Amino acid sequence: MNRKIVKLQGFNIDTFSMDEACEYILENRGQVVTINPEIIELGKKNEDLKIIINSAELVIPDGIGVQIGLKILGYKVKRIPGIVFARKILENSVSNNLRVALIGSKPEIIEKTVEKLKVEIPGINIVFSHDGYFKDDEKLFNDVINSSPDIVFFALGAPRQEECIYSIKKSLPKAIMIGVGGSFDVWSGNVQRAPEIYQNLGLEWLYRTVKEPKRLKRIFPTLPKFIFSVIKESWGKTC
C-alpha cells in the first residue's frame, strides 16, 4: 500500500481510512503524528517540529479542524481520532506478538492505565512503562530502547511527545511510535471521553473545553487563525 498524501499549510497529511492507516503502519512501522490545528500552528513557528511532522511515516487527521481545513482545500478526508487509532494498534499487538512501551501522564495514571489495559486487552505484552514527568531524557530514552519495544506510545502532549519520538526513532527503526496526548487519562478511567453525540458531530473539543475551561486559551485564537490561513491557502490554489 502506498501513501496518499495531501498538503495542508505545508504539512503532509495521509488520506487513508482508519483501517488502511492501521494496516499501513503495522506493515511499514515508524512515527505516527496525529495532526490537529494546534500542532500545525505550532509547526509554522517551529521549523524543527515541521521537519518532524513532514518526515513522519504516517500523519493522521485527528479532529474536526483538520477535516474542515482539508475540505476548504477541496479534499474529502475522514478524520481519524488518535485515541481510537492508538487503541486499535494495541488491540492488534496481541495477534502480531508485539511488545508495548507506554510513557506519559502522572504516575498514578500510568499505573492504572497499565492495569486496565492488561484486563481489557488480554495477552497484551507491556514491556515498559513510565510516567511522563521524567527529568533525565537520555536515561528514559535508553531504558525505552533497551526494552526492545515494537510499539511505543508517548503521552506528553504536543510537541514534546513528537520530539521525544523523533529522538529515538533511529534507534528503533522497526517500532510504531505514536504521540497519544491525553489518551492515558481516558484509558485509566480518570477522564471520560465526550458522549458519542459530541464525537459524531465532531464537537469533542467543545465538550472538553467546557469540562476544562483552561483549554480555551489553547483553542482560541488558534482555531480561527488556522481556518483563516487555510481560506487564504485556498485562494492561492484557485488563483
Residues at the contact surface with ligand UDP, assessed by CB under 6 A: 104-106, 132-133, 155-158, 181-182, 184-185
Which cell is 52 given?
A: 518532524
Residue 225 CB, nearest distance to ligand UDP (Å)?
18
Residue 123 CB, nearest distance to ligand UDP (Å)?
25
Q: Toward ligand UDP, which CB reaches closer, 132 or 149?
A: 132
Q: Toward ligand UDP, which CB reaches closer, 43 or 182?
A: 182
Which cell is 7 given?
A: 498538503
Which residues does residue 8 pair with via DSSP β-bridges, in sequence order?
11
* HSE-up of residue 134 (Cα within 13 Å, Cβ side): 22
Q: Toward ligand UDP, which CB reaches closer, 26 or 191?
A: 191
- Among residues 88, 84, 28, the alpha carbon closest in space to that of 58 is found at 28
CA distance 224 to 59: 22
192 burial (CB, 10 Å; 0-12 / 13-18 / 19+) is exposed
Q: Toward ligand UDP, which CB reaches closer, 73 or 156?
A: 156
Per the CB < 8 A criterion, the answer to whether 109 and 188 are in contact is: yes
Residue 24 CB, nearest distance to ligand UDP (Å)?
22
Q: Toward ligand UDP, which CB reaches closer, 9 or 222?
A: 222
The CB-nearest residue to ligand UDP is 132
Residue 180 CB, nearest distance to ligand UDP (Å)?
8
The angle subtended at Cα 6 by Cα 68 and Cα 3, nearest 5°, is 125
Residue 35 CB, nearest distance to ligand UDP (Å)?
11
